[in-house]
Amino acid sequence: MISDEDGKLFKQLANGWVPYSILVGPDGKVVLFESEFQEAGFTAAVEKLFEEPAADTGGAKPALQPVPRRARGSWGANILILGGGSGGLVAAHHLRRKLPKSHKITVLDRSPNHLFQSSLLWHSVGLRRAEQIQRPLADLARKGVEFINEPVVEIDPAAGQVRTPSQEIDFDFLVIALGAELDPDEVMGFEEMALNLYDLEGTARIKAALDAFDGGKVGVIITDMPFKCPAAPYEAALLVESYLRKRGIRERSEVHIYTPEHQPMPIAGPAMGEALTKVLEKHDIHYHPLFTFEWFSPGDGTIVHSGGDPEKVDLVLAVPPHRAPEVIRYSGLMGSSGWVHVDHNTLQTEHEGVYAIGDVNNIRLANGKNLPMAGVFAHYEAEVVAERIAAEINGEEAGAQFTGKGYCWFELGDGKAAFAGGNFYVEPEPKVRMYPPLRAWHLSKVLFEKWWLRHWF
């Protein structure tokens, strides 16, 4: 037992209420070592413990090698991109720009539209309409990219094939950009009591609920970790606070944020967490860190947690659990973390020519925590993957590498935003700087949104 009265050790080891999950096999070797608890990954690791060991043929164990597939020629490659989100769009655009038209580039997505996820927060308080933050993926045809509007049913990376409900698609290169699936059904009472901050229907319902709200307690709650866009729940609380002031009901309202994290955006370091905590205090937003959420109780309108009495809340805005898409779980691509493990520089999986970018992958940082789920990382990872695929097809050396750099805007409401950026690959801790709130930062985010929706389509 080690004394940790001031919590310094916990803050160093923990990414929320759960410190590192460590699973040790009967031989004393560590089977799983993760900074967040993911049931799917933990289950897979436990199952691995009970697998029949392979016969010992003697000699040293060979290093893990990429699984070879059929030869890929430069004469006309089929490049398949799964997902039309941030990473998928950028990968398709850069590949098309770098390769002759003899090479086929296809984007596959179950949704007919690309949704600019960052603008969901503005949609939730009436600053955007749904049609303003979406674009038809079929418009990619104008860029020389084929679009197939179907879900992925099966991925066979070794055979170089993806199956949909209607067809089997061969590929020479595969870019998996499926993102994280939202799983609100996993949370008891979510559908009856909570409004989803992370989808278009949910943010539309939030706007309607805020318009009908006449005062009381608003709670923004993070139900599970990890989750994409680490700043979003805090931005949501600030935007709601601003909206309530504009409606003239702030004095009879409270805004609370409940999180399993020990500080806001812990991966960005203590200075960032302290700065954001002060922002919340300035706006009189009640902050509840290390909140051990268990379930929603619609009958009495409370949030049940293990740390004390249930919290009575009149309006709940929630971050649902995030999981790897089901098709990943049965593809052989999912690692012990519950996500796709990739080389942190090249983004390649253990299968040659198969890459995973954005929220679907898992990259361990030098401090033992994981690279956050954020669109900016999907963007930069996509550029690296496109460079590497194009170089291989063109017979050039593939030198592009992901460097861990990223940035984000932080909306405060009232037409102001802060800005943060840095390098998450720096050792021993990510080096991130936050710039003071300005109207100019908010305007730059507006301009970026407009550029994004125009540039890729």
Q: What percent of the chain has pLDDT over 70?
A: 84
Residue 419 in this model has a pLDDT that exceeds 70: yes
238 Cβ contact partners less than 8 Å away, ≥ 6 residues apart: 279, 280, 283, 285, 411, 412, 413
For the domain spanning 78-180+340-364+371-400, the CATH number is 3.50.50.60
Chain Cα centroid distance, residue 195: 19
First-to-last alpha carbon distance for the chain, in angstroms, is 58
pLDDT for residue 64 is more than 60: no
Higher pLDDT, 29 or 354: 354
Per-residue DSSP letter, 161: E
**Amino acid 2: pLDDT:** 62
Predicted confidence at residue 118, as pLDDT, reads 95
Residue 67 has pLDDT above 50, yes or no: no
Question: 252 exposed, middle or buried (CB, 10 Å; 0-12, 13-18, 19+)?
Answer: exposed
Helix (H, G, I), strand (E, B) or coil at 360: helix
Give the pLDDT score at 50: 64
Point out the least confidently predicted range of 43-47, 113-117, 354-358: 43-47
Burial pattern 300-318, b for ≥16 Cβ within 10 A else e, equals ebbbbbeeeeebebebbbb
> Which pLDDT score is estimated for 68?
44
In this structure, the dihedral spanned by the alpha carbons of residues 355, 358, 359 and 362, taken in order and rounded to 10 degrees, is: 50
* pLDDT, greater one: 18 or 356: 356
Q: What is the structure's pLDDT at 62?
A: 36
Q: How far is CA 19 from CA 34, 277, 442, in A?
A: 9, 22, 35
Q: What confidence score (pLDDT) does residue 56 get? A: 41
Judge whether residue 260 has pLDDT over 70: yes
Model confidence, pTM: 0.86
Distances (CA, A) of 67 to 31, 349, 354, 436: 22, 9, 10, 48
Report which of residues 264 and 12 the model is more confident about: 264
* Contact between 9 and 31 (Cβ < 8 Å): no
78-180+340-364+371-400 and 182-322, same CATH topology: yes
pLDDT at position 367, please?
Answer: 86
pLDDT at 52 over 90: no
308 pLDDT tier (thresholds 50, 70, 90)? confident
Q: Is the dihedral of CA 325, 330, 331, 334 positive or negative?
A: positive
Pairing relation of β-strands 431-438 and 416-423? antiparallel
Looking at the chain, the whole-number percentage of residues with pLDDT higher than 90 is 78
Closest CA to 354 of 326, 323, 389, 381: 389
Q: 341, 244 in Cβ contact below 8 A?
A: no
Quote the CA–CA distance of 333 and 30 in Å, as a whole number: 21
Collapse the DSSP code of 182 into the 3-class scheme (helix H, G, I; strand E, B; otherwise coil) and give the result: strand
Amino acid at 126: G
Q: Contact at 8 Å (CB) between 74 and 137?
A: no
The band of 18, judged by pLDDT with boundaries at 50, 70 and 90, is: very low
441: phi then psi, degrees, rounded to nearest 5? -65, -40
Report the distance separating Cα 199 and Cα 184, nearest Å.
11
* 439 three-state secondary structure: helix
* Spatial separation of the C-alpha atoms in residues 352 and 270, rounded to whole Å: 39
Identify whether the C-beta of residue 270 lies closer than 8 Å to the C-beta of residue 289.
no
User: What average pLDDT does this structure show over 373-385?
Assistant: 97
- What pLDDT score was predicted for residue 65? 43
Residue 8 has pLDDT above 90, yes or no: no
Query: Domains of the chain: which residue ranges?
Result: 8-49, 78-180+340-364+371-400, 182-322
- Over residues 208-240, the pLDDT tens digits come to 999 999 999 999 999 999 999 999 999 999 999
Residue 91 CB partners (closer than 8 Å, separation 6+):
81, 175, 177, 357, 382, 383, 385, 386
pLDDT of residue 368: 85
Q: Is the pLDDT of residue 456 over 70?
A: yes
Mean pLDDT of the 356-378 span: 94
Half-sphere exposure at residue 350, Cβ-oriented, CA atoms within 13 angstroms: 13
Chain-wide mean pLDDT for the chain?
Answer: 89
285-307 pLDDT, tens digit per residue, is 999 999 999 999 999 999 999 88
Peptide linkage before 428 cis (omega within 30 of 0): yes
Residue type at 377 in one-letter notation: F
- The conformation of residue 442, written as its DSSP 8-state character, comes to H
Q: How far apart are CA 244 and CA 236, in angstroms?
A: 12
CATH class of 182-322: alpha beta
Q: Three-state SS for 206?
A: helix
Phi, psi (5° rounding) for residue 321? -60, 145
Residue 46 has pLDDT above 90, yes or no: no
Q: How confident is the model at residue 17 (pLDDT cuts 50, 70, 90)?
A: very low
- Per-residue pLDDT reduced to its tens digit, 432-453: 999 999 999 999 999 999 999 9
